Amino acid sequence: MGLLTDPGAGQGKFIKALLQYYSKICIILYFSGIIWFCALAYPPMNASTYFSENALLPGLVKSQFHEDKLASSFHNELLDEMKKYDNSIPYPWLLAKFKQIGLDTYTHNFTLYSPLNKKEKYSGKNVYGILRAARASSTEALVLSVPYRPPVSVHPTTAPSIAIMLAFAKYANKEKYWAKDIIFLITEHEQLGIQAWLEAYHGVTCGNENTLDHGDLKGRAGAIQAAINLELHSARIGQMDIKIEGLNGQLPNLDLFNLASKMCAKEGLYHTFKNKGQEYHRDPVKEWKYYFKNLIAMVATQATGIPNGNHGLFHRFGIQALTLEGFEQSKARGSSKVGFVSIGRIIEGTFRSLNNLLERFHQSFFFLFTPLFRQIHLHCISSFCVMLCRLYMPAVCLIAGALFIKSCAKWFKFEGSTNEEKRENTHEQQEITELKVDKIIFIFLLTHFCGVLIMNLPQYITLICDQYNYNASTCIFYTLSAISAVFLLLPYLVPFRTCERSMNMLNILCMLELGTVLICLAMNNFSLGIFCAAVSVPVALLVNPTSCRYYSVLQRILWLLTHPLVVLTTVVLVNTYLMFPDVKQKEIISRGLDATQQAIVYSIVDSMIYGNWMFSVVTSIFIPNWLCFWCIAFSDIKKPKNLLTEAKKTN
Amino acid sequence: MSVKTSKKEVEMDKLQNSVQRIILMCSLAAALRYWLMLSKYQSVIANHVEVSTPMNSWKRVSEGLYLLSRNIDPYSGDLLHETPLSLFFYKVLLNVFQQQIHWMFITFDLATGILLFATARKYMSQLYKEENANKSTFSKDALQYLLKPTDLIKSPFHVLLAFLFNPFTLFNCVGYSTTVFHNLFLSLLLFSMVLGIPIIGSVSLALSASMSFYPSILIIPISLYHINIFKSVTKAIIDIIIFIVSVSLITIFCSHYAKDFGYLKNVYGCILTVPDLQPNIGLFWYFFTEMFDHFRDLFIYSFQINATLLYLVPLSIKFRKQPFLLTLALLFIITVFKSYPCVGDVGFVLSLLPCFVHLLNYCQQGFLVGVIFLIASSLAPILWYLWIYCNSANANFYFGVTLAFAIAQIFLLTDVLFAQVKREFILEHGKERKVNGEEGILCLE
């Protein structure tokens, strides 16, 4: 306890150094955080990948799948059948096939009551068959799922994956070695179907009540250990893309990813991640650049918190899942295309490895990023700790640390000094530096109340819109923008804008809150955390209660740029520009604004149906915090009197 | 004459004002609690391991009451860890409140807050009187550091505020944890301690000791309070005797009510040997999940001695003149080191801190402790979620957070205790710390 009771600790050397150099320390911390993050893409910074779960024994068995002719005939039959069902799933055919193969076959009905318009109702149907394991009771299960896409769908077809799934089911049903049930699942309506099926399987509701009625399942297998989602767009595949990003930025276990890529490599299929394969560069700078682009692509997808495939909804239930998306065209030169045999063998190999699992995936915990293909960092030996703490969190912690350092310095500057002054001369200082604790807390709570108000607004708006038959989505967007604009006037409610000490106290509170939130966010969704930290921290560090008018205007403008709405619009605009580089600027802006509106409405709908927490977190935490800083930027501090008098004396 | 009446009027005004403020605060706090209890967050809060432990979860109590009503011994399984007396007490309470559980919890929480307010008020005025009486013995330039009359009015309110609007106590009450009742008896104990009534003090001490065992060490500060503040050794002896008598009465009642002594194993056995390793904010669970079985006994002994006896003697000797501070210190130590702590305990101890407003100037770690508290309490539920639901973190992370939380509490306690030592020194020797003409510094050796 010597550290604690050291009497010099209060205003000791350390604190003095901190007070003197804190701005430099903050700058250094911020940039070292950014550099750390960038360096993550450099291969020597990552440990190379290997399997940490020995039980998987990937690719050790001889593949025996040979039902390719059956798959082709299934494919042709299905194509014929699909023509009869324009907009729904051809479930009689699928049911018949599953039954012929000899699986326990069930259908599952679900209904969605549109969260924005209670009168609208959509219903859908999933079909699934369960292969009961020969060597174990039904305590554990694996899932092979395919999203069914009718011919009118905007997405590319997935009919070949249904064909290969049926062929594989036929093959697997004859084998004796299964120790886990395999569920073959065909879902409708993209992510809605899989969400409803998972909710029904586990008997829970993830989103709002009365939005997605998940219905009931008649047949179940055991606890699901892993899931593979297949999206093959053609019967002959030239490139297999592995997709992993899930809801709220969750990622599957690395072993599963490695397993899938190893199986693809074994069959000689060109496999990619984020549409990029493995490349070797002699020049380390070029190599870093290449992998850094991959890293940014992954961060961009993960930060949105929206799953990029049906696998993303499994993660919430502790199920490791990924999507294999097969394209006919390959980017790699000279690579060959593979047919149903190889794809079937990839599936066979993957499932036989998963069949070997003795316990849940647990060894390599977080699957964070794969900037590199084969070089994915993950260490075994209960290593989540080592990996997360050593590789990723420092980047965010360094950036958030800048906030803590600055608030610490401010605390000692104002609180520490006032204590000293009190001891020196009590009466003179007290009147000026009276701390208005109750008012500070009031403002702090008021801003958070505003945030909660915004969070709950969409529900009430939809109710009102229902009554007057307005379009809910545009209503929500314009109300949100209007309310955000009204809240900009909040600083004029702050009663202590002239009190430097109180403003600084509020500033300290806000910085601590922001720092804590960033760390918490990064624990859940690292990409979002690092993005928010990189954007908001430098400006937050600049916001100070000041008496200089120019500086105060500058910080208001800068801080306005970090408003969540402004950031969202900017991101969407940049994204639109990158997607359509040839379109005129005016067109891009109008498209971008449309897309922003869509993004907000979708995030609200997602939070109601899937329990995506992006909208709630931004409105209930980031906007209040932003408003607090906004109040600080509007501080109106008089110049200290003694300085003025001193200046007069010198004159 | 007129001056006198005006003085009286001012006092009456103040009193009325304070009563109004108390009522306002209490109704606000009650409204907040009621709203949270009826909202969808209630079950989320009640199921958090930080709030309900095996010792205090209301679910287990209601299960036990049900079993009792069916004439099944509730202590035959590993379900209930409350004493038969508390079961009887809850049964009576449920009848009185006609099954309105939320009002029951809110009433008891508010009562605790008001008792703490009264305690703080009484304690502060005692301290003020004592300091004024000893004014002549203090160094002259240190007189400005004495308690001010404004502190006497302000800090009891701060105690009330800190108890009613502390998120820890708020969650504790909303999560229906029986720590609400434990806290009530503890506050009753503190109140009667500062009033100097041995009977109520010892009986409530016996009650809280029977409920959660650890408070039994508080008998020492209570006796010290009688000896050193009220200067009466007889009262202290009466106190101890009543404590022993009421503990034995409680034991007799319990064994009658439960029909045998089987409850001892389920209540005190569970507190002392820690068989249920469900994670909580304490330090026991992690150590004992990792521990080899043949070392278990050794470490059980050392952990329990650490929680009860290790600091008791040195602290009692050092702070025998400040028994209230000693009580706070012991409560802190119990909260950090007991086998099944919950946020309700932490909130209770934290809300007593405004009583020590005179030590604030000497504390150095306030900022550090505040930041650790903030980060630890916001990370804990997140890491729990990642560990249990997402399957992506593990126990080490959650334990890291609880360790940081414990460290923050220990830092805070050390800081407060050291501040008391420093203040004593300054009052005695003045603020000048010159040693042979050079600036000296205080160290603790």
The pLDDT score that the predictor gives to residue B184 is 94
What's the pLDDT score for residue A374?
Answer: 35
Give A417 to chain B, closest Cα distance, Å.
11
Cα(B248)–Cα(B66) distance, integer angstroms: 27
Exposed, middle or buried, B109 (CB in 10 Å: 0-12/13-18/19+)?
Answer: buried
Cα radius of gyration (chain B): 23
Start-to-end CA distance of chain A, whole Å, equals 52
Would the CB atoms of B389 and A9 count as touching at under 8 Å? no
Q: Which of residues 491-520 of A touch B (CB under 8 A)?
A: 512, 516-517, 519-520
Counting Cβ atoms within 10 Å, is residue B253 exposed (0-12), middle (13-18) or buried (19+)? middle
Query: Which residues on adjacent β-strands are paired with residue B247?
Result: none
pLDDT at position A2 over 70: no
d(Cα B178, Cα B160) in Å, to the nearest integer? Answer: 20
Query: What is the distance between the alpha carbons of residues A201 and A182, in angstroms, rounded to a whole number?
Result: 14
Residue B35: inside a domain, yes or no?
A: yes
pLDDT of residue B399: 92
Is the Cα dihedral A378, A381, A384, A385 positive or negative? negative
Examine the pLDDT at A264 and tell me if it is beyond 60: yes
Span A66-88, pLDDT tens digits: 888 888 999 999 888 888 887 78
Distance from CA of B387 to the nearest CA of A (A): 10
Residue with the two structure tokens 């903050």: A26
Instruction: Give the DSSP letter of residue A388.
Output: I
What's the whole-number average pLDDT of chain A?
81
Tokens 């299905």 correspond to what residue?
A78
What is the DSSP track for B274-315? -------SSSHHHHHHHS-GGGHHHHHHHHHHHHHTTTHHHH
Question: Rounded CA gap, A56 and B350, in Å?
Answer: 51
Give strand pairing partners of A125.
A109
Q: Which residues of A touch B391 (CB under 8 A)?
A: 318, 360-362, 365
Question: With an 8 Å Cβ cutoff, is A427 touching chain B?
Answer: no
What pLDDT does B363 receive? Answer: 83
Nearest by CB to B378, from A9, A408, A516: name it. A516
Closest CA to B273 of B317, B314, B238, B303: B303
Structure tokens belonging to residue A23: 């701005």
Distance CA A449, CA B298 (A): 51
Residues of chain A neighbouring B364 (CB-CB closer than 8 A)? 4, 9-10
Average pLDDT over residues A459-479: 81
Long-range contacts of B203-206, Cβ-Cβ distance < 8 Å, separation of 24 or more: B203/B242, B203/B246, B205/B243, B206/B242, B206/B243, B206/B246, B206/B247, B206/B250
Amino acid sitting at position A242: I
Residues of B in contact with A365 (CB under 8 A): 391-394
- Point out the least confidently predicted range of A402-411, A421-430, B29-38, B228-237: A421-430
- Higher pLDDT: B445 or B29? It is B29
Residue with tokens 């199921």: B47
Query: Which residues, including other chains, have CB under 8 Å from residue A318's CB and lie 6 or more apart?
Result: A360, B389, B390, B391
For residue A170, the Cα-to-chain-centroid distance in whole angstroms is 37
User: A130 falls in which pLDDT band (50, 70, 90)?
Assistant: very high
Nearest residue in A to B385, CA atom: A524
- The residue type found at A518 is L
Residue A378's pLDDT is: 30
Q: What are the residues of chain B with a beta carbon less than 8 Å away from any beta carbon of chain A? A: 144, 361, 364-365, 367, 370-371, 374-375, 378-379, 382-383, 386, 389-394, 396-397, 411, 414-415, 418, 422, 431, 441-444
**CATH class of the A54-364 domain in this structure:** alpha beta
Do the beta carbons of residue A534 and residue A514 sit within 8 Å? no
What percent of chain A clears pLDDT 70, i.e. is strictly above it? 85
Residue B424's contacts (CB-CB under 8 Å, 6 or more residues apart) are none
Where do runs of H (alpha helix) occur along A40-120?
A: 68-84, 91-101
Burial of B252 (0-12, 13-18, 19+ CB in 10 A): exposed
At A549 the pLDDT is: 82
Nearest CB partner across the interface for B379, out of A9, A419, A520: A520
Do B162 and B353 form a contact (C-beta atoms < 8 A)?
yes
B28-42 pLDDT, tens per residue? Answer: 999 999 999 998 888
Angle in degrees, CA A603, A604, A608, rounded to 5: 115
Inspect the interface and report whether the beta carbons of B396 and A385 lie closer than 8 Å: yes
CB within 8 Å: A5 and B443: yes
Residues A344-397 have pLDDT tens digits of: 999 999 999 888 887 776 554 444 444 333 333 332 222 333 344 557 788 889
Taking the CA atoms of B214, B217, B223 and B228 in sequence, report the sign of the dihedral they define.
negative
Mean pLDDT on A532-549: 88
Return the closest-CA partner of residue B417 out of B346, B359, B334, B369.
B359
Query: Are the beta carbons of A319 and A224 closer than 8 angstroms?
Result: yes
Query: What per-residue confidence (pLDDT) applies to B436?
Result: 61
Report chain B's terminal Cα–Cα distance, integer Å.
56
As a residue count, chain A comes to 651
Are B367 and A426 in contact (CB < 8 Å)? Answer: no
Residue B144: name the closest of B400, B361, B442 by CA.
Answer: B361
ipTM: 0.86
Asked if pLDDT for residue A227 goes beyond 70, the answer is yes
- The C-alpha atoms of residue B71 and residue B27 are separated, in whole angstroms, by 40
* Chain A interface disruption, residue of B32, B367, B373, B382, most A CBs within 10 A: B367
pLDDT (mean) for A290-311: 84
Which among B374, B379, B396 has CB closest to A512?
B374
Q: How sure is the predictor about B104, in pLDDT bands with cuts at 50, 70 and 90? A: very high
Pairwise CA distance, residues A481 & A143, whole Å: 43
Bridge partner residues of A228 (DSSP): A144, A322
Residue B445 lies in a domain: no
| Percent residues over pLDDT 70 in chain B | 93
Interface check for A137 against chain B (CB to CB < 8 A): the answer is: no
Please report, as a single letter, which amino acid is at residue A424: E
Mutate to test the interface with B, among A365, A404, A417 (most CBs of B within 10 A): A365
The torsion angle over the Cα atoms of residues A634, A640, A643 and A644, rounded to 10 degrees, is: 80
What stretches of B34-121 adopt beta strand conformation (E)? none
The two three-digit tokens of residue A294, written as one number: 């991959």
Domain boundaries, position B165? 2-439
Q: How far is B404 from A393, CA to CA, in rounded Å?
A: 17
**Looking at the predicted structure, is the pLDDT value of residue B65 above 50?**
yes
Here the tokens at position B207 are 């009650």
The model's confidence at residue B435, banded by pLDDT at 50, 70 and 90, is low
Count CB atoms within 10 A of the CB of residue A478.
Answer: 12
The answer to whether A163 and A82 have CB atoms below 8 angstroms apart is no
- Closest partner residue to B411 (CB to CB) among A4, A6, A415 is A4
Instruction: HSE, CB side, 13 Å, CA atoms: give it for residue A312.
Output: 24
Domain with CATH 3.40.630.10 in chain A: 54-364
Q: Decide: residue B408, CB within 10 A, 0-12 exposed, 13-18 middle, 19+ buried.
A: buried
β-pair type (B434-435, B438-439): antiparallel
DSSP A572-610: HHHHHHHH-TTS-HHHHHHHHHHHHHHHHHHHHHHHHHT
Q: Which residue of B has its CA nearest to A225?
A: B391
* pLDDT, position B7: 62
Strand runs labelled E in A214-319 = 223-232, 239-243, 271-273
pLDDT at B120: 92
DSSP tag of B268: I
- Helix, coil or strand: residue A392: helix
* Two tokens, residue A647: 């200046």
pLDDT in tens, B148-185: 888 888 888 889 999 999 999 999 999 999 999 999 99
* A368's tokens: 């964070």
A140-147 and A271-273: which strand pairing? Answer: unpaired
| Per-residue pLDDT at A368 | 46
Q: Give the pLDDT mean for A163-175.
A: 91
Question: Do residues B218 and B243 make contact, with C-beta atoms less than 8 angstroms apart?
Answer: no
**Per-residue pLDDT reduced to its tens digit, B346-397:** 999 999 999 998 888 888 888 889 999 999 999 999 999 888 887 777 788 8
pLDDT > 90 fraction of chain B, expressed in percent and rounded: 45
* B444 falls within a domain: no
Interchain proximity B375–A516, CB inside 8 Å: yes
Name residues 584-643 of chain A within 8 A of B (Cβ).
Answer: none
Q: Could B390 and A404 be called an inter-chain contact, meaning their C-beta atoms sit closer than 8 Å?
A: no
Non-local CB neighbours of B77 within 8 Å, separated by 6+ positions: none
Site from A523, A525, A620 to mutate, B interface, most B CB atoms within 10 angstroms: A523
Specify the DSSP element, H or E, that contains B400: helix B395-429
Q: What's the structural domain count of chain B?
A: 1
CA B285 and chain centroid, separation: 21
Q: Do B393 and A520 touch (CB under 8 A)?
A: no
Question: Based on the number of CB atoms within 10 Å of its own CB, is A645 exposed (0-12), middle (13-18) or buried (19 or more)?
Answer: exposed
Whole-angstrom distance, CA of residue B96 vs CA of residue B88: 12
Residues 6+ apart with CB under 8 A from A283: none
What is the C-alpha to C-alpha distance for residues A395 and A404, in angstroms, rounded to an integer? 15
The residues, ordered by sequence, that sit 6+ positions from B426 with a Cβ below 8 Å of its Cβ are: B139, B142, B145, B362
3-state DSSP call for residue A378? coil
pLDDT score at A491: 84
CA–CA gap between residue A307 and residue A191 (Å, rounded)? 9
β-pairing verdict for A121-131 and A104-113:
antiparallel
Q: Would the CB atoms of A366 and B391 count as touching at under 8 Å? A: no
Give, in degrees to the nearest 5, the angle at Cα A267 between A266 and A273.
80
How far, rounded to the nearest angstrom, does the alpha carbon of residue A252 sit from its chain's CA centroid?
A: 12
Q: Name the residue of chain A whose CA is nearest to B418's CA.
A: A5
Query: Residue A504: its pLDDT value, please?
Result: 86
